[in-house]
Amino acid sequence: MSSDSSVPPPLSAARDPRAGRAPVRPGPGVPREAERLLIVSASMGSGHDTVAAELARRARADGRQALVVDVLALLPYGLGGGLRGFYRAAVRKAPWVYAGIYDFFLRPGPRPRPSGTPLARLAGGRLMRLVREWRPDVVVSVFHLAAQLTGHLRNRGVLRVPGAVVVVDFAVHRQWLHPGNDLYLCVSEEAAQEVRRGIGRPAVATGPVVAPEFFSEGPGAAGWRRRLERYGGGRPAVLVSAGAWGAGSQLPGTARLLAAHGFLPVVLCGRNERLRRALSDVPGVLAPGWVSDMPDLLHACAALVDNAAGQTAVQALAAGLPVVGHRPLPGHGAEGVRRMAGLGLADHAPDTSALLHSLTRLTEPGPWRERRITAGRALFREDALSRLVRIRGAGHP
């Protein structure tokens, strides 16, 4: 990832190898589909970047071109790095701080709240320089600050190509919403309805953007099963997710609880080495460190304990893994866990007794488990790329 004070990498290095190929033009009277996608992500954890990378992969596999840029790297004066560092510290060490920020700036509701547009505008010059140089057919935002930026530029008439937003959260907080954007793609119909009610823009429920390898078991899953069997002695393996930053409330306590009640907790510590070391000596707990083959690990486990309703949760749904939300991160994490439970996609376990009850019935074959698996896979409705390449501008001034 680019450092926050730098400009994006040279375009010659970022383009797809087929960039020199002339695009196929449609015949007279046929609207041209988008051949170039500029995808604006953010290096906040890894979820947004994971979605951006999958959209770019799909575009290139379809013979199109895609360029991914970090909106934090477009902010001047090192602001992007400062925002990332502050957010990481808050969710790890002072979650009550982020809860206050979420309530003041982000929580949906009728009360007026400050807009993120003034901050987003600081990245406008660098983004427009990139647009003029690379000439995309559509700019796609997968982070709320980027959505504020593209909406603002579209409203002013500065950005003259359509702006689309891929909302990766189940809870659509207000900083995702800007009426200048042309199209919103959402993980659920409930989220799409919120967008339409909030700003009156077109919004479609395509489902989450997840790489295809999560939907079917790969050869590496057998190796994970053997490892888990050796370590756990046949106990059901339960994945405990703490995200890329290893953030969560009382994670060692949750792991010990699961180990004491007949489960094998496999704790994803992300890049939090302190958490991994704290768990490495706990009897009956497996803390494997950074995992690069998540599809195989998901297919080898029996359930996921999740605290953010983010990318790991939807990857689990794609893999047919039941999800239980427990001790969620404040703000959009807690809202997302509640939304997933309300849609019948996951259990929400507010205490340890509920957690053990949910895991007991979801790790055993039977109707509860099958119902969750079926509901989770039904969430994936449509390829988001097909909507993005057919996008048409909304006639902004």
Residue ranges of the chain whose pLDDT lies below 70: 1-32, 98, 104, 106-116, 393-397
Q: At what angle do helices 367-378 and 311-318 cross, to 10 degrees?
A: 110
H-only helix segments in the chain: 11-14, 47-61, 71-74, 79-93, 95-101, 117-121, 124-134, 144-156, 189-199, 220-232, 251-260, 273-280, 294-300, 311-318, 332-342, 352-362, 367-378, 384-389
End-to-end CA distance of the chain: 35
- What is the pLDDT, as a whole number, of residue 120? 85
- What is the pLDDT, as a whole number, of residue 331? 82
Domains in the chain, start-ordered, CATH in brackets?
Answer: 11-210+381-389 (3.40.50.2300), 213-378 (3.40.50.2000)
Angle (CA) 263 265 271, round 5°? 175
